[in-house]
Structure 1
Amino acid sequence: MEIVSKSDQDAVSVKSYNEYSNHNMRRPVVKPEIVSFMREEQAVLPGFLGELEAFAHEENVPIIPHETVVYFQFLLAALQPKHILEVGTAIGFSALLMAQTVPDAKVTTIERNPEMAELARQNFQKYDQENQIDLLEGDANDVLATLTGAYDFAFMDSAKSKYIVFLPHILKQLSVGGVVIIDDVFQGGDVAKPIEEVKRNQRGIYRGLHKLFAATLKNPGLTATLVPLGDGILMIRKDAEYVELS
């Protein structure tokens, strides 16, 4: 897929995310001026990653915001994971970012949306020159149950209400000391409200995220922390071989 600007009459249109979009992810909970500062003052992405980032913004494809991009680069460079698992590929931006940041890592990424999987596949064919990325298409719950590898880093950016469903599978695959990053856990600040103040069509996500917090934030087998980047990320370190989620 050639990445082109919206002004190009042949620009690609991503229908599935334009039609069904969770706008809560577009509401960062940090002050707008601080968000702007983080996005404008930190290093821009060069080359194809910068083009993919711009394309995603133009087409309303939910990728990690730029402040989270820079944080990922710092974190992955420090951790140097060898085997990375991702749930939620979209157009392949974050998988390519992780592969570029850790050149000797292998990335397994899962995507259920056929349109996104096809766009990601084309991007991997074009930009994954070292064949670091393996794309698995299908429902994450089904695909995760088939995996047998050991991972030392995982990233979830998919259906928010299903995070608590996917996490037990991921923890089983994660090495002790491994890290899980879960994106968009604040839902524009909705998680801090009483459920009665949350729109009815968002309450399934609200309940799922609160189950996730209850299972992780005070779990003795995990070290967990919330970080206010973008729409919030939950960071988890697996501290024990067997972790029971409440």
Structure 2
Amino acid sequence: MKDSLLINRHIAEYLSSLEPDLPDFLEKLYQKARENRVPVIRREAQSLLRFLCLDRKPGRVLEIGTAIGFSSCFTAEFMPKGSVLYTVENYEPRYTEAQENIAAYREDYLARKGYDSPVICSVFSDAEAYLKELCGKCETFDLIFLDAAKAQYPAYLGHIKKLMAPGAILLTDNLLQEGTLAESKFTVERRDRTIHLRIREFADMLFRSGEFDSVMLPLGDGMCITRLKD
């Protein structure tokens, strides 16, 4: 698994060298994900998520797409005391592994810092069904991190909009799809065209609907920062 797809490898390595080292537990979990080819947030993209958490100090975070729990634990590392992160995953083997990793992370956090980590609530569910459930409860979040089934992004966005607290940020990972988002659908392999179409649709919703302010950054495989317009 490459760390960077969109910027020069040497630049990516230099940017990564500027980042503070991860705690040993998180570094080992990251390397485990890479070795097993589990898609997790890349090094350069981690820096943006870390900065947003430190700057915004979100009390409530929603992560859509848990995988094995690396990004849940990484995000919690930089959230303030007393905060809570909800994360949803629909693939049971990864959900089970994530629960184990999150429990181990919380023990590691307590041992390192002497107090409890932010609460991480792991949910096994179809993402859209869970988003609907949260909307029904009138829940809101300060930061929403979207890194799930790309073809479903347009369907998610209407629910996500309702879940964004005033001033909230939506951070979307892997939006440029190895640069293919900028290509014609006819240059994309036929089996990938549906995803290509849906992500194009999602990007148009973020940038052209008039409801959002968004910026796309060539970090990792493309990260998009979005807020609701005032």
Q: TM-score, normalised by structure 2?
A: 0.89
Structure 2, unmatched stretches of 5+, are: 108-115
- Give percent identity, aligned residues only: 28
Q: Who is 2:158 aligned against? A: 168
Q: Who is 1:69 aligned against? A: 46
The 5 Å alignment of 1:60-209 reads 60-104=37-81, 105-129=83-107, 130=116, 132-147=119-134, 148=137, 149-209=139-199
Structure 1 Cα separation of the partners of residues 37 and 125 of structure 2: 22
Query: Residues 35-85 of structure 1, C-alpha deviation per residue, up to 9 Å, x if partnerless?
Result: 222234432212211111111111111100111112211121001011000
Q: Who is 1:12 aligned against? A: none
Q: Who is 2:112 aligned against? A: none
Query: Residues 109-164 of structure 1, C-alpha deviation per residue, up to 9 Å, x if partnerless?
Result: 00001011000111122222536111110110111111121111100111111111
Q: Which amino acid aligns with 2:159?
A: H
Which moves more between the two structures, 90-99 or 40-49? 40-49
Q: Do 1:157 and 1:182's aligned partners in 2 also have CA atoms closer than 8 Å?
A: yes
Query: Residues 188-241 of structure 1, C-alpha deviation per residue, up to 9 Å, x if partnerless?
Result: 11111111000111111110111011111133331111011000011101234x
The 5 Å alignment of 1:49-64 reads 49-64=26-41
Give secondary structure in 2 for the equivalent of 1:185.
coil
RMSD: 1.7
Aligned pair count reads 217
Q: How far did residue 101 of structure 1 move?
A: 0.4
Q: Do 2:58 and 2:80's aligned partners in 1 also have CA atoms closer than 8 Å?
A: no
Give secondary structure in 1 for the equivalent of 2:208.
coil
Q: Do 1:175 and 1:238's aligned partners in 2 also have CA atoms closer than 8 Å?
A: no
Structure 1, unmatched stretches of 5+, are: 1-22, 241-246
Q: Which amino acid aligns with 1:139?
A: D
Structure 2 Cα separation of the partners of residues 140 and 26 of structure 1: 26
Give secondary structure in 1 for the equivalent of 2:220.
coil
The answer to whether 1:48 aligns with 2:35 is no
Q: Which amino acid aligns with 1:197?
A: T
Task: Name the structure with the higher helix share.
Answer: 2
Give secondary structure in 2 for the equivalent of 1:128.
helix
